[in-house]
Amino acid sequence: MLACAGDAPRPATPGWLQTAPAGCAIGFAGPTLNPGDAVRYARRAALHQLAAGDAETRIRVESELLVSGDSHRRGGEFTRQDIEGTVRDARIASMWAELSVDPRSTTQVRHVYAMACGEGREPAGSARPALPDWLLNLPDRPGEICALGVGGPTYDPRDQEPGTLRDGRRALAQALESRLHQIIIDTGRSNPRVASELATTEAALARAEAAQELDEQWSDREGEGPLGLKGVLYGLVCIPF
């Protein structure tokens, strides 16, 4: 499940990238200048796909009226789809990073993939023995919900732990409750236009603030973690559920 830096052999692509398990969805992001952003965007994309898979769709046909000077002409009909869904109590069950093979690349990470699953739908899996088990397989703690935070690398090590906690809170809030609103307009004359928004609710953001510290943390000194980058701090953030 990991992409590793250096000369260590890279493991095979995880099977869930080919076919998402039932009750799960996959998102990806990258490349980005900041690999941490790729992690955040991939998590968000996975939750977006999870919400869209169980969303309510309303389709309506509308007419388009074009106005030019004093003349009016009907431009034809178009189809609009409004898709709305809510994802609650989801888990980012696994992540995997694809590394660049181009030595001229400014970043090692090309793409980051994340798999989001509904509560109780996470597939069984195992992390590498040398790594903390919670790093890829979030613990199933009765009465708690957990998320993975990522921080750094940073110039000042003192900034890393607070940054990891902030990122973990953000991931918790997105998983607790996010609402999807997507609009698709198809005129039949060109590719459909899509506008999409996945917004974390204020209630979820407030609940995530209950996390005051990292429950677990692991500093990746050798670049063996999911991002394959040295100096990254991974942290586990949990709150009562």
- How far, in Å, CA of 228 to CA of 113, rounded? 13
**pLDDT tens-digit profile of 154-190?**
777 788 899 999 999 998 998 888 887 878 777 777 7
Q: For the chain, what percent of residues have pLDDT higher than 90?
A: 14
pLDDT of 156 reads 79
> 50 or 100: which carries more pLDDT confidence?
50
Residue 154: both structure tokens together: 């940073």
Read off the amino acid at residue 78. F
pLDDT of 8 reads 44
**pLDDT tens-digit profile of 221-235?**
887 777 777 788 999
- How far, in Å, CA of 180 to CA of 194, rounded? 13
Q: 59-68, 213-222, 226-235 — which is least confidently predicted?
A: 59-68
CB 59, CB 77: distance < 8 Å: no
- How far, in Å, CA of 183 to CA of 60, rounded? 11
Band of pLDDT at residue 9, cut at 50, 70 and 90: very low
pLDDT of 19 reads 82
What Rg value do the Cα atoms of the chain yield, rounded? 21
The overall average pLDDT reported for the chain is 76
pLDDT of 93 reads 79
Residue 59: CB partners within 8 Å, gap ≥ 6? Answer: 79, 80, 81, 82
pLDDT of 3 reads 37
- Output the pTM of the full model: 0.58
**pLDDT tens-digit profile of 184-211?**
777 777 777 877 777 888 999 999 999 9
Q: Is the model's pLDDT at 87 over the cut of 80?
A: no
Report the run of H or E that residue 88 belongs to, with start and end. strand 71-88
Question: What is the CB neighbour count within 10 angstroms for residue 131?
Answer: 17
